[in-house]
Amino acid sequence: GDSVTQMEGPVTLSEEAFLTINCTYTATGYPSLFWYVQYPGEGLQLLLKATKADDKGSNKGFEATYRKETTSFHLEKGSVQVSDSAVYFCAHAYNNNDMRFGAGTRLTVKP
């Protein structure tokens, strides 16, 4: 069945380091792809999205490109900040029914 696989965490980086969190998906069609972020003690917030192949989603310095050939949607940021410490979830959805989430990757950024 369809699924989303993220790199396992936790990931610990120093401030201003480059971030990559890998995400790959299996799908029978062409879902929309999302990254959500969960800050400590809070709910899920949409970080960015891409709805078709080669689309690049971006927000708050984060980027991810919908790669159909590698079925990937890796999250990147050039220079992380302490405030980026959170759990990041990759997800996909075909329609307005259900969204499939990856297991989440915890990021800790140290000053």
Partner 1 sequence: EPEVTQTPSHQVTQMGQEVILRCVPISNHLYFYWYRQILGQKVEFLVSFYNNEISEKSEIFDDQFSVERPDGSNFTLKIRSTKLEDSAMYFCASSGSLGGSVLVYEQYFGPGTRLTVT
Write down the least CB distance from residue 76 to partner 1, Å: 20
> Of 68 and 78, which CB lies nearer to partner 1 in the complex structure?
68
One-letter amino acid for residue 40 of the chain: P
Shortest spacing between CB 45 and partner 1, in angstroms? 7
Question: Are the C-beta atoms of residues 48 and 94 closer than 8 Å to each other?
Answer: no
Q: Which stretch binds partner 1 (CB under 8 A): 17-25, 43-51, 62-70, 72-80?
A: 43-51
Contacts of 105 by beta carbon, 8 Å cutoff, 6+ apart? 6, 7, 8, 9, 10, 11, 21, 87, 88, 89
User: Is residue 28 close enough to count as binding partner 1 by CB under 8 A?
Assistant: no
Distance CA(97)–CA(103), nearest Å, equals 19
Residue 69 structure tokens: 């050939």
Of 19, 49, 66, 73, the one binding partner 1 (CB under 8 A) is 49
Find the shortest distance in angstroms from Cβ 26 to partner 1: 16
Q: How far apart are CA 76 and CA 2, in angstroms?
A: 24
Q: Contact between 53 and partner 1 (CB under 8 A)?
A: no
Residues binding partner 1 (CB under 8 A): 32, 34, 36, 42-46, 49, 51, 89, 93-104
